[in-house]
């Protein structure tokens, strides 16, 4: 079992679905949703939340600053 | 009485800038106003008052340095001559849009293009009708003496900050280069940074936590907001028109014929009026001090008193004359006279024009 | 051990990264995936981390980032096209204890504002210039920029930039590094986590130099993407940037503490 558990919260309405966060994630947690937000963008979401290690890479490269990151040390 | 000195117009302007408590001058040399920056550099105003003097890489850079500094609430100015003033028009339009206070001087030379380095008054349209793009105005002061080159610096800064507007001292090569006695006003202390912060809450001086940030801009992509901003500007110009008109009447009480002139043309025209009076012609001089706002109402009042004719004398092909025509609205004859392209008319030429163009008919 | 739920993780005490308050909550006007947003964010993070925001005045350019003042939650001045270094000079000379920076694109800094850029650098103005180079004019619709690569297509070089007739791309960063007035010159990128961390370090160094009154101007170029102008997806644009922009505009420090290092 992982020593850390992480999670991200995406500001869905502000996400533009650029997908830059996807290759930045070392554990392939993120994908774009099939649903769209109010602007018609397929927003980023945690497809595999169990894999998130809270490294913040996705938030660091997010051009719109819509990702907030949490990390729990076990 | 203040300190008396024999000075060039350009030097008086520069000395007045230091004494007015200016925080900075940004300029670029051009004939016939290079003495302004030369004088400032030689006087070391940084030692005298802490004033910054910087020679920019171009007139464009200089006016944008003024824009930046003016946005922080500092008392700043620039100066140039006609071709350089054309380069500054972009910055002046932004200054008008962002409503920044600043002072600048144009020691006018003949144009168009590189023209000549000799005196001219052919930048009247550019000065009074906007100059750059967009619907805007600026206050234009026209000195007719070295004394006024000094006095109008103080007045200009006062008006600039009163209305958050660019004030132009529209001089010319004669006034800039001639030497006269000038009574200098006493040193006005520069505001401290803290005083600037307290006096000008709109200025970008650094946003304190929990306060609203200040933005200096002329941009708004929302056209309704931009229209409202333009209405606000027009209302400001109207207030200025109602309150800041300045002029001088010489021998106008009983005048049948009035010469309208400003700057060096006003000095020459004053002599022409004296020559006319000697010949029994009831002539007077309406000397404009503010070119914008224009003293149109005052001209109308004189018209009602029975003035038979107006001669607009200016060193141009006829620019100010259009405002005289608009002001008197056909109640009396209006003609233009002026040498231009760098030639200065003589009092005799002006008198001759008055007799030929106005009285002769 | 009980199952850990998202609710257990998403708690204030577990917060490790959130957007800085020095960015406003206004939605950025940039296209999806545009590096401007990241560059804005790390600039504001640096100001926050250095505690400089209360005495910083920023200068926004004309270009895509013309509205930078809408997003940067500090005192800002919007400059005419290319004139930001002159505007910043005016501010800094009147308020030498303030932190002053410009944020400019390639058209603003390397075309219409070349003179203002070079002379502010050459005078050694104690300001920071952040230069976003995406090789194209984004806001006006993808026209050729002074930094458009040879052969690169744009709406005004639809068959590719022909250097014979259109001239060569300009390496402003190498150019200003040669001037004695620059103290720190670096070229970075913001397309990957590692790149963002390096870029932020460079921007931090630049602002520290100004804070510490180091003699000269600090200049940080960020090679960025323009998905819309390049007509690519954000991911493809970042890949294209690595393969084409970086060989021409190599990343790394060029001048550190007033000494050329490259």
pLDDT digits (tens, 9 = 90+) for B284-321: 999 999 999 999 999 999 999 999 999 999 999 999 99
Residue-by-residue DSSP string for chain C: -PPPPHHHHSSGGGEEE---TTB-SSPP-SPTT-HHHHHHHHHHHHHHHTT-GGGEEEEE-SSGGGGHHHHB-SEEEEPPTT-HHHHHHHHHHH-TTSEEEEEEEHHIIIIITHHHHHHHHHHT-S-EEEEEE-SEETTTTSEE-TTPPTT--BTTBTT---HHHH-PPP-HHHHHHTSTTEEEEEEEE-SSHHHHHHHHHHHHHHHHHHHTT-SSEEEEEEE---HHHHTS-HHHHHHHIIIIIHHHS--EEEEETTEE--
End-to-end CA distance of chain A: 10
Chain A: closest CA distance from residue C225 (Å): 11
- Partner A contacted by C19 (CB < 8 A): yes
Which tens digit of pLDDT belongs to each residue from C204-253?
999 999 999 999 999 999 999 999 999 999 999 999 999 999 999 999 99
Is there a contact between C4 and A22 if contact means CB atoms under 8 Å apart? no
Of the candidates C10, C33, C193, the beta carbon closest to that of A18 is on C33
Average pLDDT, chain B: 97
Domain count, chain A: 1
Average pLDDT for B159-164: 98
C33 contacts in chain A (CB < 8 Å): 16, 18-20, 63
List of chains touching A (3+ CB pairs within 8 A): C
> Structural domain of residue A66, as residue ranges?
4-73
Is the domain spanning C29-260 CATH 3.40.50.970? The answer is yes
C172 touching B, CB under 8 A? no
Using the Cβ of B23 and the Cβ atoms of chain C, whether some distance falls under 8 Å is answered with yes
Residue A61: which CATH number?
A: 3.30.70.20
Q: Is the pLDDT of residue A1 over 60?
A: no
Domain B3-193 and domain B247-359 have a common topology:
yes
pLDDT per residue as tens digits for the range C153-198: 999 999 999 999 999 999 999 999 999 999 999 999 999 999 999 9
In chain B, what are the domain boundaries?
3-193, 247-359
* Per-residue pLDDT, B180: 97
Q: Which CATH class is domain B247-359?
A: alpha beta
pLDDT, position B361:
60
What pLDDT does residue C1 have?
A: 54
User: Least CA distance to A26: which residue of chain C?
Assistant: C193
Average confidence (pLDDT) over B225-246: 98
Q: Judge whether residue B251 has pLDDT over 60.
A: yes
Cβ burial of B147 (10 Å; 0-12, 13-18, 19+) is middle
Q: Which of C79, C83, C91 sits opposite B72 (nearest CB)?
A: C91
Give the distance from residue C94's alpha carbon to the nearest chain A alpha carbon, in angstroms.
34
CATH topology of domain B3-193: Rossmann fold (3.40.50)
Of A9, A17, A65, the CB nearest to C41: A65
Domain boundaries, chain C: 29-260
């Amino acid at each position: 079992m992982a020593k850390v558990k992480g999670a991200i919260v995406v500001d869905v309405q502000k996400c533009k679905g650029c997908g830059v966060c996807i290759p930045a994630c070392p554990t392939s947690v993120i994908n774009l949703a099939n649903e769209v937000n109010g602007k018609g963008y397929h927003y980023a979401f945690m497809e595999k939340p169990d894999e998130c290690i809270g490294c913040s890479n996705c938030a660091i490269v997010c051009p719109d600053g819509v990702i907030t990151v949490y990390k729990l040390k076990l | 009485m203040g300190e008396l000195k024999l000075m060039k117009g350009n030097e008086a302007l520069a000395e007045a800038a230091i004494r007015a408590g200016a925080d900075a001058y940004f300029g670029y040399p051009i004939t016939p106003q290079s003495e302004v920056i030369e004088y400032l550099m030689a006087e070391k105003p940084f030692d005298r008052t802490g004033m910054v003097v910087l020679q920019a890489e171009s007139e464009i850079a200089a006016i944008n340095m003024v824009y930046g500094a003016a946005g922080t609430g500092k008392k700043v100015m620039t100066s140039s001559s006609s071709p350089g003033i054309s380069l500054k028009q972009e910055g002046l339009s932004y200054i008008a849009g962002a409503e920044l206070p600043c002072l600048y001087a144009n020691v006018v030379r003949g144009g168009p293009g590189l023209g000549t380095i000799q005196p001219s008054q052919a930048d009247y349209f550019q000065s009074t009708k906007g100059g750059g793009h967009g619907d805007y105005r600026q206050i234009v002061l026209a000195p007719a003496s070295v004394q006024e080159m000094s006095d109008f610096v103080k007045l200009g800064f006062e008006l600039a900050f009163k209305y958050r507007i660019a004030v132009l001292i529209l001089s010319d090569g004669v006034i800039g280069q001639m030497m006269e006695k000038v009574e200098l006003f006493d040193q006005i202390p520069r505001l401290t940074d803290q005083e600037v912060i307290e006096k000008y809450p709109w200025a970008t001086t650094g946003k304190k936590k929990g306060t609203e940030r200040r933005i200096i801009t002329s941009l708004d992509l929302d056209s309704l907001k931009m229209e409202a901003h333009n209405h606000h500007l027009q209302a400001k110009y109207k207030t200025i028109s109602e309150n800041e008109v300045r002029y001088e009447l010489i021998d106008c009480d009983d005048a049948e014929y009035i010469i309208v002139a400003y700057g060096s043309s006003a000095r020459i025209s004053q002599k022409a009026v004296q020559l006319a009076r000697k010949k029994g012609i009831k002539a007077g001089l309406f000397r404009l001090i503010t070119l914008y706002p224009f003293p149109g109402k005052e001209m109308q009042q004189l018209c009602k008193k029975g003035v038979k004719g107006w001669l607009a004398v200016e060193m141009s092909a006829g620019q100010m004359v259009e405002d005289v025509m608009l002001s008197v609205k056909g109640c009396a004859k209006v003609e233009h006279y002026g040498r231009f392209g760098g030639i200065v008319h003589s009092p005799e030429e002006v008198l001759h024009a008055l007799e030929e163009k106005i009285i002769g008919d | 051990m009980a199952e850990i739920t998202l609710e257990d993780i998403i708690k204030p005490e577990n917060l490790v990264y959130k957007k800085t308050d020095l960015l406003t909550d206004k939605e950025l006007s940039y296209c999806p995936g545009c590096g401007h947003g990241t560059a804005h964010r790390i600039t504001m993070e640096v100001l926050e981390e250095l505690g400089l925001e209360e005495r910083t005045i920023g200068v926004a350019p004309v270009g895509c980032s013309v509205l930078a003042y809408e997003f940067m939650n500090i005192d800002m001045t919007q400059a005419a096209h290319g004139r930001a270094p002159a505007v910043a000079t005016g501010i800094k000379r009147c308020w030498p204890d303030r932190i002053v920076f410009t944020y400019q694109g390639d058209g603003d800094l390397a075309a219409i504002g070349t003179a203002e850029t070079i002379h502010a650098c050459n005078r050694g103005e104690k300001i920071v210039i952040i230069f976003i180079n995406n090789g194209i004019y984004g806001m006006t619709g993808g026209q050729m920029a002074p930094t458009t690569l040879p052969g690169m297509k744009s709406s005004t070089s639809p068959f590719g930039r022909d250097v014979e007739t259109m001239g060569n791309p300009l390496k402003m960063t190498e150019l200003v590094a040669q001037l004695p007035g620059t103290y720190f010159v670096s070229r970075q990128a913001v397309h990957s986590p590692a790149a963002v961390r390096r870029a932020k370090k460079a921007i931090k160094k630049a602002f520290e130099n100004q804070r510490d009154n180091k003699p000269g101007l600090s200049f940080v170029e960020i090679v960025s993407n323009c998905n819309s102008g390049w007509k690519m997806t954000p991911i493809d644009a970042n890949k294209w940037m690595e393969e084409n922009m970086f060989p021409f505009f190599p990343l790394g420090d060029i001048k550190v503490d007033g000494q050329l290092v490259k």
